Amino acid sequence: MKKLITFIFALSLVAYLSGMTTYAQGKGHGQGAAVGQNRGQAGKVRSDDRSEHGKSEKTNKDKDESREAKLAKQDEKFEERIERNPAFRSKVESLLPAGMNLRTAANGFKNQGQFIAALHVSRNLNIPFDQLKTQMTGSNPKSLGEAIHQLRPNMTEKQASDAATRAQKQAKATEKTKPIS
């Protein structure tokens, strides 16, 4: 009996010192009802208490439309964000090719960072912005590094990747432009 008590004490001490906590059912994702929820026989949730899956699911058409609307909203967001900050807008416009406005240039890019990095690459490597934009936003969009390598085949993939990384760092620095108070 003394050995059993010593064993249980030692096991408890080890469990306590290791920070181990014990759970009856663990952190599983059981089917049980939440606290305060009505239960039917044998502790199961009655079917009339369950949420109806069909009502919350969207059709593929709705998903496509919402995805397009979301992308359009993102485009508006970053373009508007640039336009609201005069200092930032000035920096971005200085990177734009002659005769191109901000909205036209930004149209089609996934986000502000991608757009500004492309502007920096165009300036750094003397690549026409419209060609870079076509590579990055066309029917078969490429990453910035892939687009650089496609337009400058004499550059190795490593050099193109390094140029893309440099432009992304420049874009982050450009994005940190504080509004003029």
Query: Shortest CA distance to 77 belongs to which of 103, 51, 42?
Result: 103
Query: Shortest CA distance to 96 belongs to which of 72, 66, 118?
Result: 118
Asked whether 105 and 94 are in contact (CB, 8 A), the reply is: no
DSSP structural state of residue 92:
H
SS3 72: helix
Check residue 181 and give its pLDDT: 59
pLDDT in tens, the chain (181 residues): 888 788 787 767 666 666 645 545 455 555 555 554 444 445 554 444 444 444 444 555 555 556 665 555 554 567 777 888 888 888 989 999 999 988 889 988 989 899 999 999 999 999 999 999 999 998 899 999 999 999 999 999 999 999 999 999 999 998 887 776 5
Alpha helices for the chain (secondary structure H): 2-17, 53-56, 60-84, 86-95, 102-106, 112-125, 129-137, 144-151, 157-175
Asked whether 106 and 100 are in contact (CB, 8 A), the reply is: no
Region for 74 from its dihedrals, namely left if φ exceeds 0, alpha if ψ lies in -120 to 50, beta otherwise:
alpha
Asked whether 129 and 97 are in contact (CB, 8 A), the reply is: yes
| Share of residues in the chain with pLDDT > 70 (%) | 62
Check residue 114 and give its pLDDT: 94
Q: How far is CA 45 from the centre of its chain?
A: 37
Check residue 7 and give its pLDDT: 77
Q: Over the stretch 115-154, which tens digit does the pLDDT of each residue have? A: 999 999 999 999 999 999 999 998 899 999 999 999 999 9
The position carrying tokens 């026989």 is 41
**Can you list the pairs that 149-156 forms with residues at least 24 positions away whose Cβ atoms lie under 8 Å?**
151/127, 152/125, 152/127
Q: Give the type of residue at 128.
A: P
